[in-house]
Chains A and B, each alone.
Chain A
Amino acid sequence: MVSDEVVRDILRQNEAMSNLVDTLGEDDDLFEKGLDSFGSVQLMLALEERFNVEFPDSLLNRRSFSTIRIIRETVTSLTLGEAA
């Protein structure tokens, strides 16, 4: 399942995020914490690879990757959609 910890593990690979991950709240805005366009794409790729999902274009926006909670919910809904 998609746990908070797995999302944090993936975020830890991001240069701008790595030192901050443990201090991030579930609802902190990652872009305000320094996630940039390059970093967000790398995050999307890592999530796609880890959970074997593909984010449709409709989810490829800032909001879908803005907080740990939203990432977890987005990935969860995609994994459930694939299982159905």
Chain B
Amino acid sequence: MTQDLVRRAKRVAAVAAQHADTVDREGRFPAEAVAALKAERLLGLQVPTQYGGEGAGLALIAEVCCTLGQACSASAMVFAMHHIKLASLVTHGLTSDWHCGLMAKVANEQLLIASSTTEAGIGGDLRNSLCAVEADGDLFNLGKDASVISYGAEADVILVTARRNPEAPTSDQVLVALMRDQMSLNRTSTWDTLGMRGTCSEGFRLEARGVPTVQILPKPFAEIAAQSMLASSHLLWSSVWFGIATYAVDRARSYVQGEARRRPGTVPPSALRLAEAANALQAMKATVLSGLRKFEGAQHEPDELSSIGFAVSLNNVKTTSSTMAVDIVQRALGIVGISGYRNDTPFSLGRPLRDVMSAPLMIANDRILSNTANLLLVQKGGGQLLSA
């Protein structure tokens, strides 16, 4: 399956690469790449086989994220965010007939899923909501000032966090699946950014009325966040950033090799810098891979997934890989020099550099480090090299 998947991902990456510059310049949705993802049926990869998907685990999704990240960061991030939401459905929706039906639709019709957690007045703290599900019998209404919904205008399904009911505390949340034709979205802000311009992470006023309550995921969002979102977000984002860093180092390598061919018998001075960048890239890869392995080991152990040790190590994957990715792309730019700074050479690195600078900011590293700092107050440590 892996080889076939790599070929499919590379075909999508070729399409994404072709349009990456216009997507970036115009700040528009990477429609061609997403159409290619659907044509290669990559949006249903994670859906269990009995519902028409391929039952792929997170590591395979991560591989696709990395391949796409080398071509177009925005396309890769859209793919990653879709699969982070799908991971929540697959992990927590199997006991609900309605959500099983949704998974089948995602696989069969290649539906694109977006996420609405961020809310005006709450900001990026995904474990709190102001808006609430207002149930009346078997139906409910929900209105949310969603200050960010990445590619919200293009999504077929949006998974929305909200308080369980209007009396519930802000942290007592549920996750609701809303189909495009069940809600109205009125744009309240635009997305004109330094990089990652194609994710179109605009703000919306979301209104849904008369939605069947069966569309509320049966598990509390607290559990969904702890058991599937934390790991899948950090690991898939990191895989996208690894793809971006890999692309940059490949450009630098190609540049240094060109220099070497022009001056036979000498090692270009930039080769030393390339050695350092390759070194950093390998360390970053090890960080992401160890996180993926840790997740695979813990995947079916709810106690392990919700443990402090697991949260600390996944937090560390995010902060380490996001910081390293920026550093690596900057190193690559230093190697290719002005050819990388220009936007019109085969070595241009402006777009990947601007894109990757989002990495330490999307869930700010300081927020994650503060969370880790709190967890370290009780973690005992004493880990071994080959485990924990």
Contact = CB atoms under 8 A, between A and B. Distances in A.
Interface SS majority for chain A = loop
A32 B378 contact: no
A62 B171 CA distance: 16
A61 B304 contact: yes
Contacts of B302: 62-63
Interface string B198-226: 00000000000000000000001011001
Nearest to A20: B169
A72 B127 CA distance: 27
B195 interface: no
Interface in A18-64: 29, 31-34, 36-38, 41, 44-45, 48, 54-57, 60-63
Interface residues of A, number: 21
Interface in B330-388: 371, 374-375, 377-382, 388
Contacts of A54: 380
Interface residues of B, number: 26
B380 A37 contact: no
Given A48-B378, A63-B302, A57 B308 contact: yes
A61 B171 contact: no
A29 B311 CA distance: 20
Contacts, number: 63
Contacts of A48: 378
Contact of A62 (B172, B226, B377, B382): B226
Contact of B171 (A36, A44, A56, A60): A36
Nearest to B378: A44
Contacts of A36: 127, 171
B306 interface: yes
Given A16-B169, A45-B378, A60 B222 contact: no
- Most chain A CB within 10 A, of B226, B380, B388, is at B380
A36 B223 CA distance: 11
Contact of A37 (B223, B303, B371): B371
A31 B378 contact: no
B307 interface: yes
Contact of B374 (A16, A38, A56): A38
23 contacts: A16-B171, A31-B220, A31-B223, A32-B172, A32-B220, A34-B169, A34-B171, A34-B172, A36-B171, A37-B375, A41-B377, A54-B380, A57-B309, A57-B379, A57-B380, A60-B308, A60-B378, A60-B379, A61-B307, A62-B223, A62-B226, A62-B307, A63-B306
Interface of B: 127, 169, 171-172, 220, 222-223, 226, 302-304, 306-309, 311, 371, 374-375, 377-382, 388
